[in-house]
């Protein structure tokens, strides 16, 4: 009488254990990079260099407009802090004035984002209403973009804090033509901005996710968009240029390590599976 004994599966051979270990190693690997940031070599692309140069080449005492579309998560991931710092550096060094506004189609959270950013920025030596102004979230999306293009004075009666526009020194007698540079953070297709701002024939800067930059290629090749920041990588490249590294760089490196990890995992799992198969065949 033959007796066949089937060996019980060891705990580490279970599929669910291996799945848990896989997740755990992902968390530990990326967590290590978050705690001890490592700066991997990174080629800085031309659009990012152009982006930073465009901001740095605003004439002395000139004016720029920034349209915010990032939600508070953007503040949380710190991907905008270095950008706002770049704006304020220009304000301090060359007297560039800044108008902050949010025409975001996704709601008033982007207006809250401006408030959060302004809270953490070092505005020493700058005066609200003279060097910069926050017009807050304005409902209407493309209608607001159109109003900006037509006459900045018609966009709103009061700033984000309820101060009448007529009482803000920087806004007195200001015309849309006085704005030297338009920049926007894009959460949806960039078409509305292009439709309203391209006819002004002023430099336009864009920041947005990879897919949105891909959609904007037509405008980029036509020269309608002067320069752009391409997703997280764009922000990290900008941080490398300005030398002001934030958590965004750590997050980028931690995300990047996932690529090689996934490839390694695929190779190791396949090799291991093949070896196990061979072993069984021999037995």
Partner 1 sequence: MEFLVGFFTLYFAAIILMCWSVLIKSNPFSKAMSNLSLGLMLAWWLKGCIDSLIKDVLVPASQGNVARLTVLILGLLMFLRFSKGLAFTSKWPLAVLAGVGTAIATKGAIPSMVLAQLTVGSFVGPNIVDNINNIIIWSGCVSTLVYFIFSIERGPVLGPISRVGQVFMMISFGTVFGSLLTGDNVMASLAFMFGDPGRYVAAIGAAIFVAYVVIDIRKKVAPVQKATV
Q: Are 49 and 266 in contact (CB under 8 A)?
A: no
Dihedral in degrees, nearest 10, Cα atoms 127, 165, 79, 225: -120
Instruction: Report the site for partner 1 in 149-188 (rule: CB under 8 A).
Output: 149, 156-158, 162
Q: Are 282 and 55 in contact (CB under 8 A)?
A: no
Q: In angstroms, what is the minimal distance from the CB of 195 to partner 1?
A: 3
Q: Are 88 and 209 in contact (CB under 8 A)?
A: no
Taking the C-alpha atoms of residue 262 and residue 233, their distance in angstroms, rounded to an integer, is 20
- What single-letter DSSP state applies at residue 36? S
107 binds partner 1 (CB under 8 A): yes
DSSP string, 44-62: PPHHHHHHHHHHHTSPTT-
Part in contact with partner 1 (CB under 8 A); list of ranges 61-69, 82-90, 216-224, 269-277: 216-224
Taking the C-alpha atoms of residue 247 and residue 82, their distance in angstroms, rounded to an integer, is 10
Cα angle 98, 65, 247; round to 5: 75
Q: In angstroms, what is the minimal distance from the CB of 82 to partner 1?
A: 14
CA distances to 11, 47, 58 from 234, rounded to whole Å, are 44, 8, 20
Part in contact with partner 1 (CB under 8 A); list of ranges 17-25, 118-126, 238-246, 266-274: 17-25
**Out of 25, 31, 269, 273, the residue judged to bind partner 1 by CB under 8 A:** 31
* CA nearest neighbour of 66 among 121, 10, 11: 121
CA distances to 92, 190, 213 from 207, rounded to whole Å, are 23, 10, 8
CA distances to 14, 15, 16, 17 from 20, rounded to whole Å, are 10, 9, 6, 5
Part in contact with partner 1 (CB under 8 A); list of ranges 93-101, 107-115, 123-131, 272-280: 107-115
**Out of 54, 65, 66, 79, the residue judged to bind partner 1 by CB under 8 A:** 79
Part in contact with partner 1 (CB under 8 A); list of ranges 61-69, 105-113, 178-186, 271-279: 105-113
| Residue whose CB is less far from partner 1, 16 or 124 | 16
Q: In angstroms, what is the minimal distance from the CB of 43 to partner 1?
A: 12
109 binds partner 1 (CB under 8 A): yes
224 binds partner 1 (CB under 8 A): yes
**Out of 192, 203, 208, 234, the residue judged to bind partner 1 by CB under 8 A:** 192
Q: In angstroms, what is the minimal distance from the CB of 116 to partner 1?
A: 14
Taking the C-alpha atoms of residue 80 and residue 68, their distance in angstroms, rounded to an integer, is 10
Q: In angstroms, what is the minimal distance from the CB of 11 to partner 1?
A: 6
Q: Which spans of this chain sit near partner 1 (rule: CB under 8 A)? A: 1, 3-11, 14, 16-17, 20, 23, 27, 30-31, 34-35, 73, 76-79, 107-109, 111-112, 137-139, 142-143, 146, 149, 156-158, 162, 191-192, 194-196, 198-199, 210-211, 217-219, 221-224, 232, 247-248, 250-252, 254-255, 258
């Amino acid at each position: 009488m033959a007796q066949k004994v089937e060996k019980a599966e060891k705990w580490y051979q279970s599929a669910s254990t291996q799945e848990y270990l896989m997740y755990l190693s992902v968390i530990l690997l990326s967590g290590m990079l978050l705690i001890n940031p490592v700066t991997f070599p990174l080629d800085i692309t031309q659009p990012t260099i152009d982006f930073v140069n465009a901001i740095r080449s605003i004439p002395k005492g000139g004016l720029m407009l920034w349209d915010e579309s990032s939600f508070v998560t953007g503040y949380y991931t710190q991907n905008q802090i270095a950008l706002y710092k770049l704006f304020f550096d220009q304000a301090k060094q060359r007297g560039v004035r800044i108008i902050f506004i949010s025409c975001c189609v996704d709601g008033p959270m982007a207006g809250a984002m401006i408030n959060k950013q302004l809270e953490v920025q070092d505005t020493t030596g700058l005066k609200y209403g003279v060097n910069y102004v926050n017009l807050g979230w304005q409902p209407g999306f493309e209608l607001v973009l159109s109003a900006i293009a037509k006459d900045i004075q018609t966009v709103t009666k009061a700033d984000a804090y309820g101060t009448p526009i007529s009482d803000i020194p920087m806004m007195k007698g200001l015309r849309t033509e006085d704005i030297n540079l338009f920049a926007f953070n894009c959460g949806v297709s960039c078409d509305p901005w292009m439709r309203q701002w391209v006819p002004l024939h002023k430099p336009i800067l864009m920041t947005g996710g990879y897919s949105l930059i891909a959609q904007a290629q037509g405008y980029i090749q036509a020269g309608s968009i002067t320069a752009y920041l391409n997703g997280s990588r764009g922000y990290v490249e900008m941080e490398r240029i300005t030398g002001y590294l934030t958590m965004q760089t750590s997050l980028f490196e931690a995300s990047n390590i996932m690529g090689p990890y996934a490839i390694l995992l695929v190779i190791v799992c396949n090799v291991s599976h093949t070896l196990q198969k061979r072993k069984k065949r021999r037995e």
